[in-house]
Each structure stands twice: as C-alpha cells, then as structure tokens.
Amino acid sequence: MNILVAATSVAAVAFLLLSSNQNIPESVKPGSSAALFALGTAGFLVVSSVLALLRVKFSRWLMLAAALIFFGILGFQSLALLVSSGASLPAGATPKLWANVIRNTLEIAINAWALLSAKASTFFMGNRPNQSSEADGSAAAQL
C-alpha cells in the first residue's frame, strides 16, 4: 500500500514538473523546494517500505516514521485548508478535503497497526534472508 501510494505521488510530481501541457497552469506546478520535499518524503516511504519487506534491522521504525511524515503532511495540508478557508471554499471541496483527512488518518492507523502488532514483531524477529541458522534445517546447518 505504501509503495503504491508513494510511487503514485512521485509520478504525479514528475508529471507536473516535466509536462509541457499548456492546460496545466503554472500555479499548479510545484517549485523546486516543494518538489524536492514531495519527492523526498515519497521516496523515503518507498525505500523504507522495501527495506521493511526485506526485514532489514530498524526498517519497520523507519517505515513507521516515513508513513507518519508522508501521510501526516498530506492530512495536515487538507485540514489546514479546511480551517483557513472556511466558507470561501468552492462547492463540493469541503467533503473531499474531509475525506482526505480521514483517509490519511486511516493510512497512519493501518501502518501503526501493521508495524506494531505481535505478528509484525514475529516477522521482524525471524531469520533475515542473508542469515543462516542451525535451527532452520538448512543445508549449511546439516554440514
């Protein structure tokens, strides 16, 4: 889930930066610092998620931090726009912004649940792919 959402974010920022489409207003295109920040947070989420799948030491904590940063910023942006704009928002924007806040809160909750559960602890405590153990019955242990 994290990899797909963050990769979509990377693709969207790259499209906005590289597109020569005249229908995209310049005000929508991110500046260099905003683009670097968006690509950095999304990239951090992708890399930490891949490392967590590979059971790299401390990667689950990196992944949790990356999810908090990535989804927290997205949720905060929507909430800040709701609070600051109030009644001046276009019709139909308020429910969409609330949906973004709720979705990003759920993304954080899902990551916390998945990474802090007992099954996750068992997964991360298990043998790493590059380690061999005498208890696992591998060919190296039998020699």
Kindly list the domain boundaries of the chain, sorted by start residue. 2-126
How remote is the C-alpha of 105 from its chain's centroid?
A: 12
CB count in 10 Å sphere of residue 94: 15
Q: What is the pLDDT of residues 40-86, one digit of tens each?
A: 999 999 999 999 999 888 899 999 999 999 999 999 999 999 998 87
Q: Whole-angstrom Cα distance, residue 72 to residue 52?
A: 20
Q: Whole-angstrom Cα distance, residue 33 to residue 27?
A: 14
DSSP for 26-67, written as a single string: TTTS--HHHHHHHHHHHHHHHHHHHHHHTT-TTHHHHHHHHH
Q: What is the pLDDT of residues 80-139, one digit of tens each?
A: 999 988 778 888 888 999 999 999 999 999 999 999 988 888 888 875 555 544 445 444
At 65, phi and psi to the nearest 5? Answer: -65, -45
